[in-house]
Amino acid sequence: MAGNCFGQIFKAITFGESHGAAVGCVVDGCPAGLALDADTVRRELARRRPGGSAASTSRSEADEPEILSGIFEGRTLGTPIAIVIRNTGQLSRDYDKLKDVYRPGHADMVWEIKYGLRDHRGGGRSSARETAARVAAGAVAKAFLAENGVTVNAWTRSIAGISAPDPGCGDFDITEKNGFCVPSRDTAAKIAAKIDELKAAGESAGGVVECRANGLPVGFGEPVFDKLDALLAQAVMSIGAVKGIEFGAGFGSAAMSGSESNDRPLAGYAVPARGGSDNGGRISYSGNNSGGVLGGISNGNCLAFRAAFKPVPSIAKKQLTVDRTGREAEIEIEGRHDICVCPRAVPVVEAMTALVLADLMLRGRAARL
């Protein structure tokens, strides 16, 4: 039972293999009346395209989205929005050697065992190429959220252990201007040096991406299994290479005491009487250890989480592995690979977050009579 549909009301279905004809998505459930065009999608895809920095692959993808349905005279019809992005930059010959040998840290072997066959060219469906479709779907979700005053911003918090200082909940123009999406020029420079060093050694790096959503009213999240943080955890963990996620104080909270950990609400916010707005407003708190979620419901604070990405498993260095017959084999991975996925993962994390928030916003409409 395949798992290529995400969401309950605002749904994204993605398709496409790395070296097939195209990747793409169908967004089903986007409300009618939203202003939307191909530019909205193109802008987000451009942020994911390689080439921003030394950390990125040199594979060049046009990433030109074609919207096949769901839009009429510049507005969504309430019908499925199908978006196709042709694969144009793939070089299948790079992968001929990988037919019978399994790359360590990749899904090659498990995919073949599970399905009985696989598209060995560039990882097929398990390639990071697949995330272009997520970004396209996420662009629609972002447009819907923006219409409702909600913005989602992610950035690289650290690469190869080199961390930027906490940028708080503010704006992050700076992150788009360096190649690493790091909210600090200083840190970006240190990272650049480290990346060069790893590249020379035939190595790769991991990192941490941080994400915040501003303008989120109280009430997003459906207890008990579809809590805001639970669905975000699924959404973000489903991005290849993510190995962990934490909200607010996260793993740090495990060592706190109760009085340290509790964010207390500050005076000035009154709960509306029954029948009032189902959005509530913004509430101020003494801190944000919760990451903006209480009991699985957004609490009016800034939504804040971090995701850990493992190093890119495709490295230039020679590695030991096994082949299809179970014998030990040496492997040297050619092709054009990112050194660290974090900069290009930033819009993917935003996209998955936006998909969760758009869906929960619509689900929340059924909470009251």
Site for a copy of itself in 287-326 (CB under 8 A): 289-291, 294-300, 308-315, 317, 319-322, 324-326
Q: Which of 38, 42, 54, 67 binds a copy of itself (CB under 8 A)?
A: 67
Interface of this chain with a copy of itself, residues 93 to 112, rule: CB under 8 A = 102, 104-107, 109-112
Burial of 328 (0-12, 13-18, 19+ CB in 10 A): exposed
Query: Does the protein bind a copy of itself through residue 8 (CB under 8 A)?
Result: yes
Interface of this chain with a copy of itself, residues 37 to 56, rule: CB under 8 A = none
Looking at the DSSP bridge assignments, the partners of residue 66 are: 84
Cis peptide before 224 (omega within 30 of 0): yes
Please state the closest distance from residue 355 (CB atom) to a copy of itself, in A: 10
**Triad 209, 210, 214: Cα angle to 5°:** 145
Q: Which of 235, 345, 349, 351 binds a copy of itself (CB under 8 A)?
A: 235
Instruction: With H, G, I as helix, E, B as strand and everything else as coil, classify residue 321.
Output: strand
Interface of this chain with a copy of itself, residues 193 to 212, rule: CB under 8 A = 198, 201, 203-208
Instruction: With H, G, I as helix, E, B as strand and everything else as coil, classify residue 86.
Output: strand
Closest among 360, 357, 369 to 150, alpha carbons compared: 357
Query: Does the protein bind a copy of itself through residue 225 (CB under 8 A)?
Result: yes
Rounded-to-integer distance, Cα 319 and Cα 11, Å? 40
Judged by CB under 8 A, the stretch of 56-64, 71-79, 90-98, 171-179 that binds a copy of itself is 71-79
Burial of 189 (0-12, 13-18, 19+ CB in 10 A): middle
Looking at the DSSP bridge assignments, the partners of residue 82 are: 26
Interface of this chain with a copy of itself, residues 128 to 187, rule: CB under 8 A = 130, 144, 147, 158, 160-161
Please state the closest distance from residue 47 (CB atom) to a copy of itself, in A: 20
Q: Which of 89, 179, 215, 244 binds a copy of itself (CB under 8 A)?
A: 244
- Nearer to a copy of itself by C-beta: 139 or 160? 160
Please state the closest distance from residue 227 (CB atom) to a copy of itself, in A: 5
Measured in whole angstroms, the distance separating CA 142 from the mean position of its chain's CA atoms is 13
Query: Does the protein bind a copy of itself through residue 118 (CB under 8 A)?
Result: yes
Interface of this chain with a copy of itself, residues 269 to 288, rule: CB under 8 A = 269-272, 274-276, 278, 280, 283
Looking at the DSSP bridge assignments, the partners of residue 6 are: 12
CB 49 within 8 A of CB 63: yes
Please state the closest distance from residue 245 (CB atom) to a copy of itself, in A: 6
Query: Does the protein bind a copy of itself through residue 189 (CB under 8 A)?
Result: no
Which region holds residue 11: left if phi is over 0, alpha if psi is between -120 and 50, else beta?
Answer: beta
Longest C-alpha distance within the chain, in Å?
70
Please state the closest distance from residue 56 (CB atom) to a copy of itself, in A: 15
Query: Does the protein bind a copy of itself through residue 89 (CB under 8 A)?
Result: no
